[in-house]
Amino acid sequence: MQLRRGDVLGGAIAILDEYGLGDLTMRRLATSLGVQPGALYWHFPNKQTLLAAITDEMLARVSAPLDAQDWDARLATYAHRMRDALLAHRDGAELAAASYSARLATNDARDTLARACVEAGLPDDESELAADTLLYYILGQTMDEQSRMQMDSHGALVEDASPLYDSTSGTARFDYGLSLFVDGVRSRLRAAVRD
Amino acid sequence: MQLRRGDVLGGAIAILDEYGLGDLTMRRLATSLGVQPGALYWHFPNKQTLLAAITDEMLARVSAPLDAQDWDARLATYAHRMRDALLAHRDGAELAAASYSARLATNDARDTLARACVEAGLPDDESELAADTLLYYILGQTMDEQSRMQMDSHGALVEDASPLYDSTSGTARFDYGLSLFVDGVRSRLRAAVRD
DNA sequence: ACCTGAACACCGTTCAAGT
DNA sequence: ACCTGAACACCGTTCAAGT
């Protein structure tokens, strides 16, 4: 029963979901697969690359085709898909942020966001910048949401300075920032029309 | 010549600037201070807390008073101050993101952004959410900028898919996303007036 | 082609004991 | 009060050698 690349990936995701990113070590992964640590390096050149592969796996479905709609609804749907994909795995947002930061993620989520901005009517160069802006927001907000979940689950019922923090659901918080972004794009479009 | 808390902080910042966050280890820091690793734990309970202290030091000045201006100019100035503060130290944005994520940063940069949103005319609860949105953007964009700098310095002149990436300066890229945010806030203000 | 065994060069943290 | 010495329990990665 030989080890396949997919087995390594699957084992890594299993550890991620059960114990979190901090406990996802090459040694622990090797043990869970019944193999020596060095064996993993035949399938992945290093840990960073393995983590990036998990990120790509996580985000593989966000770029799937969408029912035709208004550009703002499309943009919002892509953003929500991405958030949902990150939320589906423990520390998913932190993992994705690390992979993007290391420039090892090869999924097309960013391109999809950029394309949606082009379809909205933004110039190509602005669309790239807008996509990055939205991407940073999604990663940051979702990271925050997941670290909050982690704190809650660890029995720390520290009441926040702002009571709104607890009462406002993660989705509502997410939607607020998202609407700020979409409104920003909208006013850029209007400005372009006036010229 | 006793070791003071400030010496540890200063030594850590020196290593950060010269070798980066990855090489800022407790052991290396101890060596550079001519002390045993364990000595550091008399001054800081753990590494995370030390890193958060660096973050607070870095961002201490962004909340300083501002010349009275329009709310949008004030918001932009705070955002630029924060970016500049992060850019002033190698891996500054990554460090700050980690400290915020661990909820150990005690500086009032976030509160300052929220207050600026209140002054703009946003309700208190929306201002908190808007401040977070802006904060994630600043951290994400600046992290990206610094990791790009790192790649460039490491002789990797890989041409990007988009030639705009290279030609658009970091400041211009930053200003684009910032204007998206400010325009988003502006349209939220207009929506409130109409009600 | 795929993996083991074993090492290399590190980590953060703790804590009795010293001064 | 402040630090040393020394350990504990780990890391990621490499690579000759095995099958």
Is A168 inside a domain boundary?
yes
Give contacts of B136 with chain A, Cβ < 8 Å.
136-137, 139-141, 144, 177
Find the mean pLDDT for residues B34-59: 98
Distance B144 CA to C8 C1' (A): 33
Residue B163 has pLDDT above 60, yes or no: no
Does residue A159 sit within a domain?
A: yes
Residues B68 and B98 in one domain: yes
Residue B95 sits in the same domain as residue B171:
yes
Query: Which nucleotide lies closest to B35 by the C1' atom and the CA atom?
Result: D3
- The residue among A77 and A168 whose pLDDT is bigger is A77
| Confidence check: pLDDT of B153 > 90 | no
Q: Is the pLDDT of residue A118 over 60?
A: yes
Same domain, B35 and B67: no
Return the closest nucleotide (C1') to the Cα of B41: C13
Distance from CA(B38) to C1'(D9), angstroms, rounded: 16
Find the mean pLDDT for residues B76-98.
98
pLDDT at A155: 57
Residue A52 lies in a domain: no
* Of residues A123 and A162, more confidently modeled: A123
Q: Is the pLDDT of residue A161 over 90?
A: no
Residue A53 lies in a domain: no
* Residue B34 placed within a domain: yes
8 Å CB contact between A118 and A127 = yes
Q: What residue numbers bound the domain in which A172 lies?
A: 58-194
Q: Are residues A72 and A20 in the same domain?
A: no
The DSSP secondary structure of chain A, one letter per residue, reads: ----HHHHHHHHHHHHHHH-GGG--HHHHHHHTTS-GGGHHHH-SSHHHHHHHHHHHHHTTTTS------HHHHHHHHHHHHHHHHHTSTTHHHHHHHHHHTT----SHHHHHHHHHHHHT--HHHHHHHHHHHHHHHHHHHHHHHHHHHHHHTT--PPPSSTHHHHS-HHHHHHHHHHHHHHHHHHHHHHHHH-
Co-location of A20 and A79 in the same domain: no
The reply to whether B38 and B89 lie within a common domain is no
Statement to judge: residues B38 and B78 lie in one domain: no
* DSSP label at residue B101: H
The answer on pLDDT for B42 being more than 70 is yes
Q: In the structure, how far is the CA atom of residue A162 from the C1' atom of nucleotide D7, in angstroms? A: 45
The pLDDT value recorded for residue B192 is 79
Mean pLDDT of A138-163: 76
Q: Which nucleotides of D are covered by protein (CB under 7 A)?
A: 2-7, 10-16
**CATH code for position B101:** 1.10.357.10
What CATH number does residue B33 fall under?
1.10.10.60
Give the number of domains in chain B: 2
Report CB contact under 8 Å: B164, A188: no
Considering only CB atoms, which chain A residues are within 8 Å of B177? Answer: 129-130, 132-133, 136
Q: Are residues A63 and A24 in the same domain?
A: no
Q: Is residue A51 part of a domain?
A: no
- The answer, for A133 touching chain B at a CB cutoff of 8 Å, is yes
Question: Which residues, 6 or more positions from A167, have their beta carbon under 8 angstroms from its beta carbon?
Answer: none
Q: What is the mean pLDDT of chain A?
A: 93
- Co-location of A84 and A167 in the same domain: yes
Full-model pTM: 0.94
